[in-house]
Amino acid sequence: MKKGDHLFLVDGSAYIFRAYHALPPLTRKSDGLPVGAVSGFCNMLWKLLRNARDTEVGVTPTHFAVIFDYSSKTFRNELYGEYKANRSAPPEDLVPQFGLIREATRAFDVACIEQEGFEADDIIATYCRLACEAGGDTTIISSDKDLMQLVGPTVGMYDPMKDKEIGVDEVIEKFGVRPDKMIELQALTGDSIDNVPGVPGIGPKTAAQLLEEFGDLDTLLAQAETIKQKKRRENLIEHADNARLSRELVRLRDDVDLELPLDALTLSDLNGPKLIGFLKTMQFTTLTKRVADQTEADASAIDAADVKVEWESAHGPDLDPGEGPSKDDVLAAPTEGMAPQALAEKRAAEIRDIAFDHSKYETVGTLERLRAWIAAARDQGHVAFDTETDSLDPMQAKLCGFSLAVEPGYACYVPLCHREGDGDLLGSDSLCAGQIPERDALSALRELLEDPACLKIGQNIKFDMVVMARCDVEGEPIEIVNFDDTMLISYVIEAGRTAGSQGGHGMDPLADRWLGHKPIPYKDVCGTGKNAVTFDRVTMDKATEYAAEDADITLRLWLAMKPRLTADGVVSVYERLERPLVPVIGKMERAGVSVDRQILSRLSGEFGQQAAGIEAEIYEMAGESFNIGSPKQLGDILFGRMGLPGGSKTKTGQWSTSARVLEDLAAEGHPLPRRIVDWRQLTKLKSTYTDALPGYIHPETKRVHTSYQMAATTTGRLSSSEPNLQNIPIRTSEGRKIRTAFIAEPGNVLISADYSQIELRILAHIADIPQLRQAFAEGIDIHAMTASEMFGVPVEGMPGEVRRRAKAINFGIIYGISAFGLANQLGIERSEAGEYIKRYFERFPGIRDYMDATKAFAREHGYVETLFGRRAYYPDIKSSNHSVRSFNERAAINAPIQGSAADIIRRAMIRMDGVLEKAKLNATMLLQVHDELIFELPESQAEAAIPLIRDVMENAAMPAVDMAVPLQVDAQAASNWDEAH
């Protein structure tokens, strides 16, 4: 470096925090990766490097470096252990941006500097000194007051956000002292964010005045007795040592042993293609264009770079609590942007105020108009999309039309195959006029749906995805690439908050809650009962009002709700546990499972015959015939006419005829109740499974396609319906037979892989219970271990009954145990159950601590969290009604355990396809049953697939959560589900 050269030093870490807080949240279009701070950083670097002459800095750099903090552990912590101890962990959507900003620096071909044991400020100070000695000038890109001590004749500062230079005069204007006195000024004022003590009661104004009066800090402290103000005098005397310590903490070191010499910072020519590759990866279209223009590169010829994003690495540079925003940064933010919470509220309120006007919706009848709408959508970068079909089952549904919304109030409906005429008389109905030929409309639509640069917003978009995938007009299924789902956003921000009467995450309740709007009821459009018609028979005017409104509402909901993800710190739950799962589950639903009709029909016959036999026996014993399926009639017979002793009663005052009660009666020697239980079991198996399942076999695929609900439970579990394949019998030998009807295609096998004791393992991890952790680490029988701890019985030769009780207690713990419930489960007295619980807590005090802590957390915050940050709300946990409150407490204790297990298997499912594909295995994931995954694949590949599947599942928590307990997965292959499990 020589005279006339100019060094730019960017305070990278400070900039990251400042940009994060000052700029509105921005996420990458294709995958929701948070990139707001990265974008701000890139724009700033570009400006500094290319337009330097135009800015007020007025100079062009010859040397350039971006400097980051490496870790919060520096020599200052040895001086003062509490230094920066107040700082909290950075927000979750900032974490992935730390690494990206370093990548950005490299893409700009600028030195990227961080050094262990030193703060960025010390490195900056050292380069400043070296540049000064070489006769060059320096500009520090920062507005941090900690750096102002370096300002002098050859060193200036520049605030890139306010586009403002800070020189000697500006420092004096702001703080009332010359830059070389900044150290002493800060020594007096201290800094609550960095936890620099200072002297109490002294702020910047007083400090400047004192330094002016006494000249320097040592003189001031030596002559402190002469100060008139009593409090100030006492504080200065009492905290003199703190002031001296603070001076050492704020003084920057300019003697860092640099890894990179000053001359290595010489600015090289910009590598346009490299930078463009990075910017394309980030999808910063405006800046990409600008860089391409300036460097005369052809952006379209450059591929997006392969940038690694580590959302989850919990350790490493920038990530320990040492790096919260400094006070200056936080104060600077509100003038330039808004806090995420305020922004979310403002946005929601603005959207709510926009009125609905159904008359403005357009019916699109020509390809030109459709193209115009699609162009508007692409121009905007996002569009709400909704399909209209003739069925709620996406595997049956035929597409009738679709709607788009580009801005609130601007929406259209594109009818595709609306018909008119009398459908009952063959051939008398015909396609309505004014519709685009379906093929043309769909190929235009494909362009939009498959364009990764345009975000498609749906309400339960999995439905639309399955419908569109089945619309393979050109032989290729239509994909929806790059999407958001308002149902899932709602689920992530308010699971549990809106349960019950308020009505969950469907469009109608969401529109009511967020927009104060009641959508046109479906009944008003299609009628009800036997007058109901399918959507393709609705007149196009009515269809447009209804369908376009749906897209309009979806768009508004997205605008109103999306910012809440950032405000609540749950972006990663949505992006890592919900959104990527949508196509995975869509694929499973489309795959379906093969069910053997013959086996079911044979079983149905068997069950029917047995039930009929038992029915006759029952009438014989009862002395009359009655409706066994009616609990009311049954109760009258048993407890009225036959005079048996009743057990418990139901909440309506009826005698209970539950299996529990009937089994107790059977144990007392009455033969009839036993037969009732048998009859009920058989009729249940027949009606719910063997009779109903064949009706779900799809006419074309010949397979059964369940529907998974992603937003149905409070805890994060999926649910399955139509048919529910998550409650196929397994407990009894009769029931198990039903599983033999779930088969692989000829030449294929089914693999069932299930987690062993996942919830107890999660409990052992969360509550950190040494005995449980050890037992799982050693792979020993967990229920026997519990029994042994509690009852002092050795595991060897333990009676089955003892282990059974311990097992019930272990389950009870996961369910937020109560003496009442445990007594019920084990059929013992409540007092005895209470004794068990007491003894359990004595042996495992950590469990009680976990339960108390969880309840306290839920009461304070109104929600609990899983290991992965998913929230479950329990608004009634403060209820004055004891049973309501207790119920909520138990649910709140259970939710982090059940929910963490649900999160883990979701993670496994999301990763699974990629791993199997990479290993060239043609395995299809078919079903999920909470802790189990079912696959179908060629028999020859089963041996190779099993270890792979186990590996993905066992390591699914990593790297986000490093479990203290290993996860264990058992997997087997067989030709049917019964043998595979």
Partner DNA sequence: GGATACAATTA
Partner DNA sequence: CTAATTGTATCCA
Contact residues toward DNA (CB under 7 A) are 528-530, 627, 629-633, 650-652, 654, 656-659, 662, 677, 680-681, 683-685, 687-688, 692, 709, 712-715, 717, 719-724, 726-732, 735, 808, 811-812, 814-818, 820-822, 824-825, 887, 890-891, 894-895, 898, 929-932
CB of 857 to DNA, least distance (A): 16
Q: In 10 A of CB 921, how many CB atoms?
A: 18
Distance CA 82, CA 90 (A): 19
Pick 431 or 659: Cβ nearer DNA: 659
Q: Choose between 566 and 900: whose C-beta lies nearer to DNA.
A: 900
Q: Which is nearer to DNA, 582 or 704 (CB)?
A: 704
Both tokens of 26, joined, read 């921005």
Give least dist CB 109 to DNA, A.
Answer: 53
Q: CA–CA separation, 902 vs 909, rounded Å?
A: 11
Closest CA to 457 of 553, 555, 581, 376: 555
Phi, psi at residue 775, to the nearest 5°? -60, -45
Nearest to 656 by CA among 676, 635, 638, 674: 635
Sheet holding 969-974, edge to edge: 924-928, 932-938, 748-755, 969-974
Give least dist CB 820 to DNA, A. Answer: 4
Least distance CB 467 / DNA (angstroms): 20
What minimum distance in Å lies between the beta carbon of 761 and DNA? 13
Between 4 and 529, CB nearer to DNA: 529
**For DNA, which is the closer residue by CB, 161 or 718?**
718
Q: Which DSSP category does 934 fall into?
A: E
Identity of the amino acid at 233 = R
What are the backbone dihedrals phi and psi of residue 724, each rounded to the nearest 5 degrees, phi first? -75, 110
Shortest distance (Å) from residue 526 CB to DNA: 12
Q: Are strands 748-755 and 969-974 parallel, antiparallel or unpaired?
A: antiparallel
Phi, psi of 473 (to 5 degrees): -60, -40
Q: Which is nearer to DNA, 495 or 515 (CB)?
A: 495
SS3 for 249-292 is HHCCCCCCCCCCCHHHHECCCCCHHHHHHHHHHHCCHHHHHHHH
Nearer to DNA among residue 211 and residue 676 (C-beta): 676
Q: Tell the smallest beta-carbon distance from residue 700 to DNA (Å).
A: 21
Three-state SS at 822: helix
Which run of H or E residues covers position 449? Answer: helix 438-449
CA-nearest of 645, 396, 513, 573 to 960 is: 573
- Give min distance, CB of 881 to DNA, in A: 14
**Which residue lies nearer to DNA by CB, 242 or 604?**
604
Strands 63-67 and 6-11: parallel
Instruction: Give least dist CB 90 to DNA, A.
Output: 32
Q: Which is nearer to DNA, 811 or 841 (CB)?
A: 811
Please identify, using beta-carbon distances, which residue of 244 and 641 lies nearer to DNA: 641
Q: How far is the CB of 628 from DNA (least distance, A)?
A: 8
Query: Within 13 Å and on the Cβ side, how many CA atoms surround 963?
Result: 25
> Toward DNA, which CB reaches closer, 175 or 815?
815
DSSP state of 499: -
Q: What is the distance between the alpha carbons of residues 284 and 275, in angstroms, rounded to a whole number? A: 11
Nearer to DNA, 371 or 736 (CB): 736
State in angstroms the smallest separation of the CB of 633 from DNA.
Answer: 5
Minimum CB distance to DNA smaller for 229 or for 630 = 630
Could you tell me the smallest distance in angstroms from the CB atom of residue 758 to DNA? Answer: 8
Q: How far apart are CA 301 and CA 442, in angstroms?
A: 29
Q: Is 693 in contact with 704 (CB distance < 8 Å)? A: yes
- In the complex, what is the shortest distance from the CB of residue 368 to DNA, in angstroms, rounded to a whole number? 41
207 or 891: whose CB is closer to DNA? 891
Q: Largest Cα–Cα distance of the chain, in whole Å?
A: 114
Instruction: CB nearer to DNA: give 56 or 624.
Output: 624
Provide the minimum distance between the beta carbon of 515 and DNA in the complex, in angstroms, as a whole number. Answer: 23
State which residue, 677 or 851, has the beta carbon closest to DNA: 677
Note whether 190 and 204 are within 8 A (CB).
no
Q: Report how far Cα 466 is from the mean position of its chain's Cα atoms.
A: 22
Cis peptide before 959 (omega within 30 of 0): yes
Of 442 and 819, which has the nearer Cβ to DNA? 819
Closest approach, Cβ 660 to DNA, in A, equals 7
Three-state DSSP class for residue 697: strand
Q: What is the CA radius of gyration of the chain?
A: 34
* Minimum CB–partner distance for residue 143 and DNA (Å): 49
Q: Which of 240, 227, 127, 250 minimizes the C-alpha distance to 179?
A: 250
Direct distance between the N- and C-terminal alpha carbons of the chain, in angstroms, rounded to an integer? 72
Q: Which two tokens stand for residue 647?
A: 């057990």
Select 396 or 633, whichever has its Cβ closest to DNA: 633
Indicate the DSSP class of residue 27: B
Number of H helices, E strands in the chain: 39, 24
Cα 476–479–483 angle (5° rounding)?
A: 175
The secondary structure of 541-583 as a DSSP string is: HHHHHHHHHHHHHHHHHHHHHHHHHHHHT-HHHIIIIITTHHH
* Minimum distance, C-beta of residue 810 to DNA, in the bound complex (Å): 9
3-state secondary structure of 668: coil
Tokens of 49: 């490097």
Closest CA to 127 of 14, 259, 18: 259
Give 476's Cβ-side CA count (13 Å radius). Answer: 8
Q: In angstroms, what is the minimal distance from the CB of 855 to DNA?
A: 13
